[in-house]
A = this chain, B = another copy of it.
Amino acid sequence: MTEDSDTDQDTVPDPEEVVQRHERQLDAALAEVQEPTPSTDESLDLELPGLELHRRDFVKAGAATGAMAGLAGCSGGLLDSGGSDSGSNGGGTGANTDYHVPPGEKDTYYGFWSGGHSGEVRVVGVPSMREIRRIPVFQKEGGVGYGHDEKTKQVLEEGGDIGSVAGYEWGDSHHPVLSETDGDYDGRWLFINDKGSGRVARIDLKYFETDAITDVPNMQACHGMAVQSPDTEYVYGIGEFRVPIPNDGTDYDDPDDYWSVFAALDPETMTVEWQVRVDGNLDNADTGKDGEWAFATGYNKEHAVDAEGMTHDDRDFMKAFNIPAIEAAVEAGNYEEVNGVPVVDGRQDSQLNQGDDPVVKYVPTPKSPHGCDVEPQGRYVTASGKLSPTVTIVDIDELADASDPAEAIVGQPKVGLGPLHTTFDGRGNAYTTLFIDSQVAKWDIEAAVDAEKGSTDPISGKIDVHYNPGHLQAVESETTDPAGDWLISLNKLSKDRFISTGPIHPDNDQLIDISEDASSSATGGMELVADHPVHPEPHDCVVAHRDKINPNNVWDRADYEGEKPFVTQDASGVERTGDQSVEVQMSSSRSQFGLQEFTVQEGDEVSLTVTNIEDVRDIIHGLAIPQYGINLAIAPQDTRQVTFEASEPGVYWVYCTFFCSALHLEMRSRMIVEPSDS
């Protein structure tokens, strides 16, 4: 490390101190639940020394590299040893070939990946891991003309600008969630958050297109995202950053009075129904399977505004949102209307939390729990420890009854360093990413609960991943009946796993076969089968069987009837609608636009409508007038529109952007903008 890049210890938390403090906090946390009796199981004995070693390395690495590098666990030395110390699939065996999808065959699953600050959702075939298409959400995109035609422009604009100063040009999508009916993916919608703002977007899975964006008031960053199970009556946007409300610079000195809110949207209308104001920053979320509860992890119960303050105390909370109690409070008028939204006070000292049926239960956990995941049976919700090497298991029924929410904690397995997220295979196993250890730990849920009573070791095995995993997802894990054959570990670092593409490295999504349980194996039967590089920066994914997603291959004209015309070849033409306005309508079909040329006057407002009259799937036409910034993608039977001002005279070639036929190059129209003085 060069001299200049040494970090200054004066202004930041001392890493050794932070680590040691959290080790003490962990010990305190573990003391609150019964310590597991040391097991005689050999695999546990083999694991525990390893865990201890990692924890020592962790402290040592923190000291060696300075700053918070230790907590990151991704200093070169630590990471490399993590990758090479264990022989379990470190380099992959390549033995499992079931994931190969031969030419002409199809993937079994639809994977929907968030795209992070690329502001999109990606559709990935599982198990082949091929990216099939991107669905732009928070950022204009030329490939499919998103944000270029009036309809998708409006979606982006209706996304609003609450809190935006310069206008949002990008977004930071993290957590894709599929709508559900009866606890299963119903293939209707996919919802996605924007951590860069308070926005929540909806993708219509009939057309794989973003059809609504809502900018949620009173929220600067929507981080977590969940839909209510078993039926998507609410979509939840989980606010992370705490800000003053109103945020106008008049009152920013009391961070205790900053706001963070949990928001419920109607999935049909995408309007915000209500919000719950809470203590601390919110993080990730999931819901119970009976429609009664939603859960969110969080950090910064200290209400601090710097990292040191945010990691000061020894505990944080998982919040349990009591949906019927919240609805009752709204119904009874027990809310404050803020920026048009009913806000229920769910802070710890709120009157609404003092009775027998509080709106929010605060479940104490070790510091800064991160992943929040309900297992398929809906009995337990888990909070993955992040700064603690444990996962906290909460019994949802017990929580509903307990006067002290801590009593509902029924397990706290010690899974490894940096547990971030947990997913499920439907066979009773949980899988937790270990960010610092660069591993996935497989553990038995009931055994983890039993372990609290001193019986069994819950850890079934661990597998190395490359490197530093964030989210992971087993296929159909959000349903009540996961398929349990594949798991994807979304690793933030790829280091040297791929040919280099310069300093900006891709992430690495690794496909793991989890179809077998093998207690005799160090990995518990998990097998790494493929690495897949990904453009920055996916966070999470959700995976549904292909039978549950049924998009149209051609547009159904009934879906836009009354909003837009269907322009036939015969109807193609130019109509002057005013002194300085003109309507141009044309069809498009292989090799030709309905108009081979059209003339407008300088200064005209031109409303252009184009219909793709083909009805054969995959015969897409584009219409581009690049000098006027126009770029439409028109699928079969679809109509798209755009309006622009013909401000500069000249000849402009209108061309088709989708290679549609042997005469594709010749598929053009000539737009002549006549000078106003001609």
Contact = CB atoms under 8 A, between A and B. Distances in A.
B666 A570 contact: no
Contacts of A553: 500, 502-503, 505
A74 B661 contact: yes
A616 B69 CA distance: 11
A637 B5 CA distance: 8
Contact of A498 (B132, B436, B505, B596): B132
Interface stretch (A246-254, A340-348, A479-487): A246-254
Contacts of A165: 627-629, 647-648
Contacts of A602: 249
Contact of A310 (B139, B243, B644, B666): B666
Contacts of A500: 551, 553
Contacts of A589: 5, 7, 67-69
Which residue, of A97, A143, A529, has the highest number of chain B Cβ atoms within 10 A? Answer: A143
A537 B250 CA distance: 49
Contacts of A655: 195, 221, 241
A118 interface: yes
Nearest to A67: B589
Interface in A95-132: 97, 100, 102-107, 110, 115-119, 123, 125, 129-132
Interface string A1-16: 1101111100110000
B501 A306 contact: no
Contact of A649 (B248, B468, B552): B248
A28 B194 CA distance: 62
A117 to B, nearest CB: 5
A127 to B, nearest CB: 12
A197 interface: yes
Nearest to A104: B91
Contacts of A191: none
Interface string A344-368: 0000000000000000000000001
A568 to B, nearest CB: 5
Nearest to A501: B133
A68 B631 contact: no
A90 interface: yes
Interface string A136-151: 0011111111001000
Interface stretch (A166-174, A226-234, A272-280, A440-448): A166-174
Could you say how many copies of this chain the assembly holds? 2
Interface string A640-678: 000010011111110101111111011110101111001
A661 B626 contact: no
A308 B221 CA distance: 55
Interface stretch (A29-37, A374-382, A422-430, A617-625): A617-625
B166 A644 contact: yes
Interface in A533-551: 533, 535-537, 539, 546, 549, 551
Which residue, of A90, A139, A501, A552, has the highest number of chain B Cβ atoms within 10 A? Answer: A501
Given A498-B106, A627-B165, A283 B665 contact: yes
B658 A68 contact: no
A608 interface: no
B72 A663 contact: yes
A293 interface: no
B501 A132 contact: yes
Given A132-B506, A618-B505, A536 B144 contact: yes
Given A250-B675, A435-B662, A674-B249, A125 B498 contact: yes
A71 interface: yes
A564 interface: no
A143 B163 contact: no
A307 B435 CA distance: 59
Contacts of A619: 72, 74, 493
Contact of A591 (B249, B307, B587, B666): B307
A497 to B, nearest CB: 7
Contacts of A436: 662
Given A657-B537, A670-B305, A626 B142 contact: no
B249 A665 contact: no
A140 B470 CA distance: 27
B103 A115 contact: no
A193 interface: no
A67 B621 CA distance: 15
Interface string A370-392: 10000000000000001100000
Nearest to A590: B72
Given A164-B627, A248-B649, A498-B106, A130 B533 contact: yes
Given A125-B498, A166-B629, A306-B596, A71 B663 contact: yes
A185 interface: no
Nearest to A68: B591
A118 to B, nearest CB: 4
A492 interface: yes
A603 to B, nearest CB: 12
Nearest to A132: B533
A102 B93 contact: yes
Closest 5 CB pairs of A and B: A249-B649, A92-B103, A72-B661, A503-B635, A94-B102
Given A4-B566, A252-B650, 4 more contacts: A72-B661, A104-B497, A133-B501, A387-B663
28 contacts: A7-B613, A11-B594, A67-B589, A68-B590, A76-B616, A94-B103, A103-B497, A106-B497, A118-B141, A144-B535, A164-B627, A165-B628, A169-B629, A169-B631, A172-B657, A206-B502, A241-B655, A243-B650, A243-B651, A247-B651, A299-B665, A305-B597, A306-B596, A500-B551, A502-B552, A536-B620, A537-B657, A539-B659
